[in-house]
Amino acid sequence: MNKLPMEVLEFLIEKTINNRSIAYIVIDKNGYIKEWNDDISLYVDFGLEINMLITDCLHFLEGYFPLQKDEIYIPSIETTKQLYADVYLLKKGDIFYIILLDEAFFRKSIKKVLQNLNEEKLVYDKYNDLKNDLLIIDISAFLDLLILEHLGSNMYNIIGILPNWVDFVANNKQKLVSEVEISGRFPYIENFLLDAKPFWKNNTRGKLKSDLWTETDESNKEVHLEATAIKIKNRDFLLIEYGHSSTDEKFNLIQRARELKLEHELRIKAEETLNKQNIKLNELNATKDKFFSIIAHDLRNPLSAFRNILELLTNYYDELSKDKIRDTIKMLDENSSHLYKLLDNLLQWSRSQTGGIQLYAELQSIDAVIRMNISMMKISADKKGIKFIYEMKNDFLAYYDADLINTVLRNLFTNAIKFTPNGGSIIVSAKENGDYIEISVKDSGIGIKQEDIGKLFRIDVHHTTIGTLNEKGTGLGLILCKEFIEMHNGKISVKSIEGNGSTFIFTLPKKPF
């Protein structure tokens, strides 16, 4: 059962370039097995029997019979031995051929096809013995291939019958054709030959395939072509295949793969856009929630306390002692100061969310802005006996907006004072770090829990902590700091160990941005 039937041989000769192992099964019109070859064992993991139903051994053929066409191609199907094969279904009258091809055993299959077709002459015979070989002529006619042998000096000899879709005519009886004529008929070939000629020169055996290309035939129908350069010992061949069903199927598969890739890329892009929109929507919702939380709680409470103190003074002023009045006024001062800072942060944050803040960065001193803000915060620090230590031997210049960086330093200094116990210290320093100036604010305060560090700069997480003297906050200040620093193309970060203080570090650019 090893000899291939002629119908199979005729069909498979055009597939030999693909270098695959060949297996076949013959069945009747009712789907019962009548014949097979030994290579079928590569794909089926049990022995076949005469009159066995084909779908009992190749389950993927369920539903294909009776065949609606004379030829059906099923690409890359998994067989019972978990090998992937290309499957061809051929109808020849009442007989059906099932052909399986696989790359893993290509050497054996090529040898078998060559032996069955007596094509060893193409490998071993001299040119004079080959030119009158009727078998080669018959094969080229059946395959509808243009077979050319490269003779050197940009000349080629036509092997076999010239296909009717080739409209150039050889210039003499020896069927010689020039590379110019070939390129004139097939413009794409000119580029392919740039790769084919080195391939012929540097190899003793093998093949080189071109990409598929398209042309329009006389009926204005688009057809697909493919070229193959073949090297067999000291001979060079160029094959051009035109409009074969296998070529069309390959082209359609490539086109479909491209379409699927494009669909996949568009879907991924749409998903990325949707994810970005969802993230932006979540940020907007978090911003809205934060805004209403501040208004409903953080702003309402100090205003309520302020009103209660004023009501106390209004109704009981004559009954209060001077010391009590002095303490009450001090409470008013502290509440008004807290309320002012809160409103100022709230106003700036609101402007930043609506695009109302314009950045006016210029090259200016780092030393000046730090010293000014330390001076402004000294009174608050003195109340808790906290000492500012400024460590900067040299002044640095950086590009920044003074108003925004004043807000950043004021918030960082306020937090440092708030979370540092009486008698503590705050160290402020600056240094160069590549193209940036790095400024740090280090306190000797209570520090931050590790699980809370990630919450500090997030608008979608409400996080606020009471100070060492029960000072209150909104958590809005650090969010403002982050936004303002990032507007300068800088970064802000924090290092902290609970019980051992915190260090906030931010950077400003030395060059325009």
Q: pTM, whole model, 2 decimals?
A: 0.41
Residues 138 and 100 in one domain: no
Alpha-carbon distance of 128 to 130, in angstroms, equals 5
Residues 110 and 123 in one domain: no
Please report, for the domain that includes residue 81, its CATH number. Answer: 3.30.450.20
Residues 395 and 487 in one domain: yes
Looking at per-residue pLDDT, the higher value among 187 and 46 belongs to 187
Please report, for the domain that includes residue 378, its CATH number. Answer: 3.30.565.10
Task: Give burial (CB, 10 Å; 0-12/13-18/19+) of 481.
Answer: buried
353 falls within a domain:
no
Last residue of a domain, one of 114, 136, 157: 114
CA distances from 315 to 306, 307, 309, 331 (A): 14, 12, 10, 17
pLDDT at 62: 79
Residue 116 has pLDDT above 80, yes or no: no
Instruction: Render pLDDT for 36-64 as a digit per residue (tens, 0 to 9).
Output: 988 888 788 778 889 998 888 888 787 77
Strands in 350-424 per DSSP E: 362-365, 387-391, 397-400
pLDDT at 253: 62
180 falls within a domain:
yes
Residue 137: closest CA among 183, 91, 175: 175
332 falls within a domain:
no
Residues 190 and 143 in one domain: yes
pLDDT at 127: 38
257 falls within a domain:
no
Angle formed at CA 448 by CA 447 and CA 449, multiple of 5 degrees: 130
DSSP state of 5: P
Residues 195 and 148 in one domain: yes
Residue 493 has pLDDT above 90, yes or no: yes
pLDDT at 255: 64
Tell me the pLDDT band of 472, cut-offs 50, 70 and 90.
Answer: low
Instruction: Render pLDDT for 194-215 as a digit per residue (tens, 0 to 9).
Output: 999 999 999 888 889 888 888 7
Instruction: Render pLDDT for 132-153 as a digit per residue (tens, 0 to 9).
Output: 333 343 444 445 678 888 988 8
pLDDT at 248: 52
Select, from the ranges 28-32, 164-168, 399-403, the one with the highest average predicted confidence (pLDDT): 399-403
DSSP string, 9-66: HHHHGGGGGG--EEEEEEE-TTSBEEEE-GGGGGT-SS---TT-BHHHH-GGGTT--S
61 falls within a domain:
yes
Last residue of a domain, one of 114, 130, 147: 114
SS3 471: coil
Instruction: Render pLDDT for 227-237 as a digit per residue (tens, 0 to 9).
Output: 889 888 788 88
Residues 34 and 136 in one domain: no
Residues 98 and 141 in one domain: no
pLDDT at 122: 42
Residues 97 and 139 in one domain: no
Looking at per-residue pLDDT, the higher value among 1 and 97 belongs to 97
Residues 237 and 368 in one domain: no
Give the total number of structural domains in the chain.
3
Residue 246 tokens read as 């296998």
Residue 110 has pLDDT above 50, yes or no: no
175 falls within a domain:
yes
Residues 55 and 93 in one domain: yes
Residues 318, 323, 329, 332, Cα dihedral to 10°: -110
What is the CA 435 to chain-centroid distance, rounded?
31
Alpha-carbon distance of 212 to 187, in angstroms, equals 13
40 falls within a domain:
yes
CB neighbour list of residue 429: distance below 8 Å, 6 or more residues apart: 390, 391, 392, 439, 440, 442
CB neighbour list of residue 442: distance below 8 Å, 6 or more residues apart: 426, 427, 428, 429, 501, 502, 503, 504
Alpha-carbon distance of 6 to 1, in angstroms, equals 13
Residues 39 and 179 in one domain: no
Please report, for the domain that includes residue 140, its CATH number. Answer: 3.30.450
| Long-range Cβ pairs for the range 403-407 (8 Å, 24+) | 403/360, 404/357, 404/359, 404/484, 404/487, 404/488, 405/369, 405/484, 405/488, 405/508, 406/369, 406/372, 406/373, 407/345, 407/348, 407/480, 407/481, 407/484
CA distances from 469 to 384, 423, 466, 472, 503 (A): 9, 13, 8, 9, 20
Q: What number of other Cβ atoms are within 10 A of residue 122's Cβ?
A: 22
37 falls within a domain:
yes
DSSP string, 258-275: HHHHHHHHHHHHHHHHHH
Last residue of a domain, one of 219, 243, 267: 243
pLDDT at 340: 76
Residues 488 and 366 in one domain: yes
Domain span at 13? 6-114
Question: What type of residue sits at position 35?
Answer: E
Residue 130: closest CA among 203, 207, 233: 233
CA distances from 441 to 381, 414, 458 (A): 14, 11, 20
Whether the CB-CB separation of 143 and 13 falls below 8 Å is answered with: yes
